[in-house]
Structure 1
Amino acid sequence: MSDDGEFAASLDSSLSSLDGATTVRHVRTPAAARAELVSAPAAISCIVLAAPTAAGDEGAFVRDIYTQGIDVPVVVAAADQETATRAVEAGATDYVVRDDDPETMSWLAFRVERALGECTLARSHRDRIEQQRVVSEIGTRALTAVDLDSTLDHAASRVRDVLDASSVTIFEGLDDGAFRVAAAAGWSANRGHGLAAAGGTQAVETYRSGRSTLVDDFDDDERFEHATGAGPSGPKSGMSAAIGGDDTRWGVIAVHGVARGQFSDDDVLFLENIAAVVGAATERNELKSALSEVLERMDEAVMGFDADWRVTYVNSTAEHGLGMSAAAVLGTRIWDSVPESAVFREEFERAMERQEPATFEQYYDRLETWYAVRAYPSETGLSVYFTDITEQLEHEVEAEQYGRMLAAVADAVYALDDEGRFAAVNPAFERLTGLERDRVIGSSTALLTENASATDGSDEAFASTSQGIVELDLRTPDEGVVRVEDHRTPLVVGGEEVGSVGVLRDVTKRHRYERLLATLHDRTREMMGATDRQAVLRAAVDACDEVLGDARTELFVFDEADTSLVRVGAAGTGLGDKPVGGGLDRGGVWDAFVSGEVRVIEIAPDGGVVDGVERVIAAPLGRHGVLVTGHPGTVAPDEVDVELVNLLSATVEELLDRIDAEAELRERDRRLEAQNEALTRLDRINATIRNINQSLIRAPTRGEALSAVAKHLVDADDYAIVWHAEARDVDETYRPTSDAVHGADTAYADRLGEVASAEPLFPLLEAAVETREIQVIADVLDDPAWADHRGDALSYGFRAIAVIPAVADDRVEALFVVHATDPDAFADDDGLLTDLGETVGYALAATGRADAMLTERRTDVQVQLGGDRLSLSRLARRVGRAVSLGGVIPNSDGSVIAFVASDAEPEEVVAAGRDIATRVRHVSTDDSGSLFELRLPRESLFETLYASEATLRALDATPTQTTLTAEVPERIRVRSFVDALDSNYPGTSLLSRRTTDDGTESPQTFAAEMREAWTSRQYESIRAAHLAGFYEWPRRSTAETLAETFDISAPTYQYHLRAAERKLVERVFE
């Protein structure tokens, strides 16, 4: 019961991997679960309750189940220990605490499978008891019932009830090979319903062969046909047993079920016992039918015959028997007047011929009577006395049939009279007790009490039991002891109790199985506390030896390196001192391990597997190994041994899997912790590198750049001392200056002059210069070459050393020697320190580089544009806030893409822009305001700027005025420029002008050179990125949004942008 469908599906999958025959019914509420239990209680063997439930009433649900008398185990899958405790206190039989571990579901499936087994065993125990009672009940009814039909109807009904079958049918075989329905329960067939002999059906084959048959699935079983009309429709499984022996076959009893595999071998044995009882009843009925009328009306009859077989005398009893008066018979030949009397003729003639008295028994069909005939011959005739012996023969037949019934039953059956003396026993009783029948009959129950004692310690239990079920320990003739179950019921005849009938069933195997199963359960619970593989393996060996008694057990684990099974207990395993030998990679034990199936195999006693054992159980432990056990000598393991070892091996496999999973989890946690530490260290290195990059940009000189790098490195938590050196200065006489050392006190700074020019540090410096690669000492304390420097490491707190070359264009500009506080501090740096060296190298190479620059004079002009023709002016008036133009990108069709900034609400700007621009888009918003992209139609302002070679510096519009700031080349007259603007925007006026003179290369010259180097698409891409805030931090736009501006894909846009950036960088640094 769970409201989580995924949980139910996962449990179904786990149970299927253990036992594909288990069926899971998923319900979501307690009400639905109760409905299932009420409608089909026998079909449910276990309840799995996911707790807590939505209503939190799991405890009330469990108590309600047991209050209603529903005997089914409840396994709780609890979310926590507290919920599990509440459910167990309410009556739950077992629980598992759920977590995120996928192995938990496998463990829950194992616990559910075990609960199913225990429930099945308990139900099987109850079923066998009920079956014994029904056999006794039907047997008693067969001896006391007036007619056969009621006995058959009662038998069909009781068999259907006790087996929970869909139908039970008793067929009578007819002389013509057909069958008739003698009794039926569970389907609509009427008594006497005739059926043709359907060859190949289960019932017909059972009738012909006399052997009982069991079918688990009619759809898959190809042995028989399911004939339409020969039984109920829709059965999935069935069994049948013949009624009567080979010479006296009467019919067959057939049972059908709607579920596949509904019946067991024990059910077949029960059906055979019922068939034996029914067979005895039918034989008794056949004789009784022939004699019943005679028993009601006949006395002794007397007849006389002369030598010619003419009747000379008949008495009234004979008259009634002949069906005619004496007058009609006297003087006639008996063979002529009563042809049916010919059955006596042979014996009568023999008596006359020999002239000797003849005594015989003969059945007279006309009167349906058995007679004891005494014929006395003389010279003149024959005198015959007919004595009605029908009743006497009936009693004899009943006794004979009852004896057959008792002999056919596999269990020991006995009958006691009203004084507690044995009145009858069957052969099974003699075999079980070792007492002969002649000695038992007439003896009191004390005879058996001498050899039987109750399991509760009462020696009189058998003698004192009048009815019910008692378990006894019975001593056998071979001085052994078997556990028997005595089920005794009163024998009532005519409403009066005349004695009792009992059944003794040998339950030794079942009792042993239950006891060993309980022991295995206890050992399993103990093993669950084991925390390592060795403890589990030791406990498995001990449990196996304890459960199987005198068994000898060995464990073999799979060695993946050698792909063989290696004995546990060999030297070094911690489980004793046993011969190592070679690993097993062939033979029966290996085959069992490979197949994954429990097998009983034969091995040589000296084969090195299990000493002194020839037949062993090989139980695989999954991928871990195999458990091998057996009894000494040639004693073969029985089915109970195999099943118990199978359960034990499954538990050991689960525990080993759990321990491995926990170990893997711990190792994963360790790796994650190490990765987190490495990522944290890399994050600190990244932060340090960013700071270094900023300092390199600001450093005006090479020396200040070197010092800035060293200071940032030593400020990081991972590094204690950092010093730098010019690569060209590194030789045997090199001494670092004091201003080049950072983080070290004066004493160690002075020692560095000595240390840097000697081994082992100097070779590291040389290697860094020669290879242009970082050189690392992972741990100074563990490196023998640094033994003389361990004192410095301990005193100044460093463990690892790295020499980082600053490389530019395959040339080492400088070296940085970093002393780290932790060992392996430079491991897993993901190449960041190497990248840092290259960045610093190029920065140093560029320091001091100067290029010749050209000088150009320009005029800064600021004007106020008149009118409202300008798109930006109209936009400012509509939103009522200031609007600034960040820049424009011209298009080939004369339109421009303008990037506009404003502190107005983005929605208002977008709404107003739709009336001004052909496209408007909100790019981003930050503390300074919002950025928008507008595609504007042809604008005269930008054409005037282009024609005047002017550079737009600013364009700001408010609701009342618009101001333009631009740089105009000196050769362009300012008045002409203002007039050109006024012609398009009437009312334009000059606000200010200023001429500038730059001693370096003018931006215009540099821009012109770059514009020449870029393609049109590259220029548009980098300019759009600049105007859209792509290079600001945080970025105000992304490559994806900029790609939408040009209606191209993001990768294509990034390709053009990277190409433009590369050309710009090359132009700056070359």
Structure 2
Amino acid sequence: MSRDRQYVTTRMVERANSPRAVDLAPDFDALVADPFEAGGNGHGGEGTDHFASIYETRDQKFETAVPFVRKALDRDGRCLYVAHETPRETVLDELSAGGIDIDAALETGQLSVRTTGEFYASTEGFDPDRTIASIEAVYERTFDEGYEGLWVAGEMSWVLASRTRATADADPDLLMNYESAVNRFCDDRAATALCQYDRTRFPAEVLSDVIRTHPHVVVDGAAGKNFYYSPPEEFPEGEEETTASVDRKLATLAERARREGALERRQRGLSTLTEATRRLMGADTAEIDDCAVEIVRDVLGAPAVELRRYDSASGSLALERTAGEGIDGGGPYEDRVWEAFVAQDVSILDRSDDGGPGDPVAVVPVGTHGVLCVGTERGTTLDDATLDLVTTIAANVEAAYDRAERELTLERTNDRLSRLERINDVVREIGTRIVRADSREEIERTVCDRLAAAGPYRFAWIGEADAISGAVTPRASAGPGSGYLDDIDVRVDGEDRGDPSARALRTGHVPLTHGESTYGVLTVYAGDPEVGDRDREVIRELGEMVAHAVDAVEARTAPTTGDSVELALRVDADTVTTRFAREIDSEVEVDGIVPDEPRDRAFVVVDGDASERAPTAADRTAGVDGLRQVAAGDSVVRLEATVTEQTVASAVADAGGLIDSLTATEDGVGTTVVLPSGADVRAFIERVRESYPDAALVARRSRAGEGESDPRTLVDCDLTDRQRTVLHTAYRSGFFQSPRLNTGREVADSLDISQPTFTQHLRTAQRKALAVLFDGDT
């Protein structure tokens, strides 16, 4: 094909949007054979590519002529249009209105529009042989100039115009001789002919013979094979035709052509659909979206197709794909599309312009996945065969979506199973390694290194919680996220106040707890946000395994003498110390509690700035009956408060624990407690919870002692309650410091006893404690 003629075809396709180009074209495509197929005309002896167009109006004439010319140009053939009663300019205007680029076609010579006078150049009347010879001359030049065949359309009313014949009417025998010659011409050559007869100009007997001599007839907008066709030599003689009988024949041909056309379209559509279905069955969801609209276009030739997918998140139909022209619908149209989807019924909707009838749109549900909207040309209808095809396409698309979803679900399930298998392998390997570890540090390092190296995970770390603030401090980490730990603030409750995207990727954040002991927190991050409950369950089980290993290694490596157990406790409750911290608006460190009847003495340390508010705060704090300053330093002040209700410190002491540190804020109390080695930690915690049910064990660790003696024995030596109170108060009041922070009289006054009595109790308590220290007496 030359570049010029290729341009003609391309422009023709681009402009083929006229209503006249649509109804006839599909049937016409099926009936016009490829001149180069086996057998010449491709009809296997059933007839030639010879058409009769029988029309009554000019519009009907060009509804056939336009697609005929388009098909000629589309097949790279030369097209000759011979006009008689229609001016040449009118013919060109009609062809142009039908979407054909006539300027390019005329310029290249692919299209010629001639009048009968120009083409036949004779005034001697109708001569079939001379007419065929003129067509033969054009045919010979057609192939010399590189075209693929000759297509001729002629207005047959010119045979009525001769004034040299005996009558003004067409000679039936002479005309039928010509049509028979055209049949032979098209049968032996790569040629297609369209003879156009004005039904209002030709008598019934002539039209009857026209019907018999044409293998194909186009009438009332329908093109089909002519079952009345007979070769001229088989014509019955003496049979007369009336107008009524010709009308019946034409009506029968039109109805049959429509039915055969619909059947042909359906068969052609099903054939195309079969091949398209193979594509659908191997496509993923995105490819199915593309295939769905392409299949409708290919099978039906629809000018506009939309695929709307149901979006479960928004609960609406979202426009996913379009093909061809857009379907410009308004609000009511959108509502009816949604109604068709909900009802799962095929609906035919009309779009309206200025309130008038619009182009019909078929809305076909694709199961629960969405709908296909198929637009048509203005003035056309959607017959049952077309709707059946659209419904079949929608069913195949639905099946493809279902298959793709099943495959995706199966793929995800297999991925999860593979992931869990890898996780379990990692957990088993970690378990094997940590049971042979010699230290807590080795266990933590091994766990983090193996988790970060495993495929499902990218980053892992272990932290230890602060009993007072609840903040978790990293002890070990591995993976490409160490810098991330510098930017976040992780709490005991598992909340990390950092990058939200990192939080989304976090697989597990579990405490390392064994019995009553907590050894920190294990946090694991995955590269894939699609983590499941089973992932988190595995991490929780791993946390228990790690805590058990830490507990075992600390038990193995703990000193056999003088060791102790250090517990970190958190009490989130309203206590006298939390209330005092709230009133003084400062953190309060409890340095010691001296039990006494009926009131205890609490020695506390506050910031120097807060000490000025202390007296007022004490007056406003329920449970505080008195306050005095014991000593003042550069930045802190030691105070002695008389309290009338139980404190966390007294509850710990009553349960048998020694307070290593205790800090109170307005939110709660955090304390570190020391128990002797071998102490029943569970019983201790239960005893504390009798007074404070919210008491929580945050951490536990073993602490090596510095000698064989348990410091507790000094406290448990043979002291009376009063001797122990005097000794403890003197110590907390700084009486033994040099220089003394409080004199004997000041301490005695705080105890509400005389100085001699204070001195007597103090010396007796000192002697008993020194006897235990030096002589081992208890």
| TM-score bucket of the superposed structures, by smaller chain | 0.3 to 0.5
TM-score normalized by structure 2? 0.33
Higher relative contact order (CA 8 A, sep 6+): 2
State the structure with more CA Rg: 1
